[in-house]
Chains A and B, each alone.
Chain A
Amino acid sequence: MVERKIKTVYDVVCPFCGTLCDDLEVDVNIGDQEVIEVRNACQIGTAKFYSSNPSEHRYTKPLIRKDGKLEEVSWDEAIEKTAEILVNSTRPLLYGFASTECDAQGKGVELAEILGGVLDNTASVCHGPTLLAEQDVGVPSSTLGEYKNRADLVIFWGSNPVHAHPRHLGRYSEFVRGYFKKDGRNDRVVVVVDPRNTHTAQIADLYIQVNPNEDYELMNAMRALLRGVEINEKEISGVPIEGIKKLVEIVKGCNYGVIFFGMGLTQSLAHHRNIDTAICLTRELNDHTKFLITPMRGHYNISGANTVFTWNTGYGYSIDFSRGYPRYNPGEYSSVDLLMRDEIDASFIVASDPASNFPADSVKNMFKHPLIAIEPHETPTSAFADVVLPPAIAGIECEGTAYRMDHVPLRLRKVKDAPKECLTDAEIIERIIEKAKELKGE
Chain B
Amino acid sequence: MAEIKLTLKKQPDFPLEADAISPDNFAGKTQDEIKNFELYLGNKTVKLGDYFEIKGKSGNAEELTITIDGDLSNIKRIGEKMTAGEIIINGDVGMHVGNRMKGGKLKVNGNAGDWAGAMLEGGELEINGDAGHYVGAAYRGFWKGMEDGIIKVSGKIGNEAMLWARNSKGAGKWPTLYCGGAGTFLGIHNHGGTIIVEGDVDRCTGADQAWGMIVIKGKVSRKLPSYKKIGEVKEIELPNGEKIEGKFIEYSGDHSVKKETNGKLYIAA
Interface residue ranges, A against B (CB under 8 Å): 89-91, 115-117, 132, 135-136, 216-217, 220-221, 223-224, 227-233, 236, 269-270, 273, 276-277, 280, 321-323, 328-332, 341, 343, 345
Docked complex Cα distance between A90 and B40 (Å): 11
Q: Among the listed A229, A236, A322, A328, which residue makes an inter-chain contact with B255, where contact means beta carbons less than 8 Å apart?
A: A229
Q: Is B139 on the interface with A (CB-CB < 8 A)? A: yes
Q: How far is the CB of A280 from chain B (nearest CB, A)?
A: 7
Q: Which 8 A-B pairs have the closest CB atoms?
A: A116-B43, A90-B42, A223-B256, A224-B226, A91-B42, A135-B141, A221-B225, A229-B255
Chain B residues 203-256 with CB under 8 Å of chain A are 203-204, 207-208, 222, 224-226, 228-229, 254-256
Q: Is the CB of A270 within 8 A of B256?
A: no
Q: Is the CB of B207 within 8 A of A273?
A: yes
Q: Is the CB of A229 within 8 A of B259?
A: yes
Tell me which residues across on chain B come within 8 A of A273, comparing CB atoms. Answer: 160, 185, 188, 204, 207
Q: Is the CB of A216 within 8 A of B14?
A: no
Docked complex Cα distance between A228 and B259 (Å): 7
Interface string of B155-187 (1 = CB under 8 A from A): 000001000000000000000000000001100
Tell me which residues across on chain B come within 8 A of A331, comparing CB atoms. Answer: 114, 133-134
Q: Is B41 on the interface with A (CB-CB < 8 A)? A: yes
Q: Is the CB of B140 within 8 A of A330?
A: yes
Q: Is the CB of A270 within 8 A of B40?
A: no
Q: Among the listed A116, A228, A236, A276, which residue makes an inter-chain contact with B42, where contact means beta carbons less than 8 Å apart?
A: A116
20 contacting pairs across A/B (C-beta < 8 A): A91-B14, A115-B43, A136-B189, A217-B203, A217-B225, A220-B224, A221-B226, A227-B255, A229-B226, A230-B228, A231-B226, A273-B160, A276-B208, A277-B256, A321-B43, A322-B42, A323-B17, A332-B95, A332-B115, A341-B15
Q: Among the listed B133, B185, B222, B225, which residue makes an inter-chain contact with A224, where contact means beta carbons less than 8 Å apart?
A: B225
Interface residues on B, range: 35 or more
Instruction: Specify which of B134, B224, B225 lies most central, judged by the most chain A CB atoms within 10 Å of its CB.
Output: B225
Q: How far is the CB of A424 from chain B (nearest CB, A)?
A: 28
Tell me which residues across on chain B come within 8 A of A224, comparing CB atoms. Answer: 225-226, 255-256
Q: Is the CB of A322 within 8 A of B40?
A: yes
Q: Is B32 on the interface with A (CB-CB < 8 A)? A: no
Tell me which residues across on chain B come within 8 A of A236, comparing CB atoms. Answer: 225
Look across to chain B and name the residue whose beta carbon is closest to the beta carbon of A227. Answer: B259
Q: Is the CB of A90 within 8 A of B43?
A: yes
Look across to chain B and name the residue whose beta carbon is closest to the beta carbon of A329. Answer: B140
Q: Among the listed B140, B189, B259, which residue makes an inter-chain contact with A135, where contact means beta carbons less than 8 Å apart?
A: B140
Docked complex Cα distance between A216 and B224 (Å): 9
Q: Is the CB of B207 within 8 A of A90?
A: no
Chain B residues 111-146 with CB under 8 Å of chain A are 114-115, 133-134, 139-141, 143
Tell me which residues across on chain A come within 8 A of B134, comparing CB atoms. Answer: 331
Tell me which residues across on chain B come within 8 A of A135, comparing CB atoms. Answer: 140-141
Q: How far is the CB of A64 from chain B (nearest CB, A)?
A: 24
Tell me which residues across on chain A come within 8 A of B13, comparing CB atoms. Answer: 90
Q: Is the CB of B255 within 8 A of A91?
A: no
Tell me which residues across on chain A come within 8 A of B17, comparing CB atoms. Answer: 323
Tell me which residues across on chain A come within 8 A of B222, comparing CB atoms. Answer: 217
Task: Give the interface SS of chain B, mostly helix, strand, loop or mixed.
Answer: loop
Q: Is the CB of A90 within 8 A of B44?
A: yes
Docked complex Cα distance between A223 and B225 (Å): 10
Look across to chain A and name the residue whose beta carbon is closest to the beta carbon of B95. Answer: A332
Q: Is the CB of A322 within 8 A of B43?
A: yes
Q: Among the listed B42, B225, B259, which residue makes an inter-chain contact with A220, where contact means beta carbons less than 8 Å apart?
A: B225
Additional 5 contacts, C-beta under 8 A, given A135-B140, A270-B184 = A216-B204, A217-B204, A229-B256, A332-B115, A343-B15
Docked complex Cα distance between A359 and B56 (Å): 46
Q: Is B258 on the interface with A (CB-CB < 8 A)? A: yes
Q: How far is the CB of B167 from chain A (nearest CB, A)?
A: 19
Look across to chain A and name the residue whose beta carbon is closest to the beta carbon of B133. Answer: A331
Q: Is the CB of A220 within 8 A of B14?
A: no
Look across to chain B and name the residue whose beta carbon is closest to the beta carbon of A134. Answer: B141
| Contact flag A323-B133 (CB < 8 Å), given A229-B226, A229-B259 | no
Q: Is the CB of B140 within 8 A of A223?
A: no
Docked complex Cα distance between A277 and B185 (Å): 12
Q: Among the listed A89, A117, A136, A216, which residue makes an inter-chain contact with B141, where contact means beta carbons less than 8 Å apart?
A: A136
Tell me which residues across on chain B come within 8 A of A116, comparing CB atoms. Answer: 42-43
| Contact flag A343-B43 (CB < 8 Å), given A229-B226, A332-B114 | no
Look across to chain B and name the residue whose beta carbon is closest to the beta carbon of A237. Answer: B225
Docked complex Cα distance between A76 and B116 (Å): 47
Tell me which residues across on chain B come within 8 A of A322, comparing CB atoms. Answer: 40, 42-43
Q: Is the CB of A229 within 8 A of B208?
A: no
Q: Is the CB of A217 within 8 A of B224?
A: yes
Q: Among the listed A90, A230, A321, A330, which residue makes an inter-chain contact with B41, where contact means beta carbons less than 8 Å apart?
A: A90
Q: How far is the CB of A409 from chain B (nearest CB, A)?
A: 24
Interface string of B36-48 (1 = CB under 8 A from A): 0000111110000
Q: How far is the CB of B77 from chain A (nearest CB, A)?
A: 11
| Contact flag A328-B140 (CB < 8 Å), given A224-B226, A273-B207 | yes
Tell me which residues across on chain B come within 8 A of A117, comparing CB atoms. Answer: 43
Docked complex Cα distance between A21 and B201 (Å): 46
Tell me which residues across on chain B come within 8 A of A91, comparing CB atoms. Answer: 14, 42-43
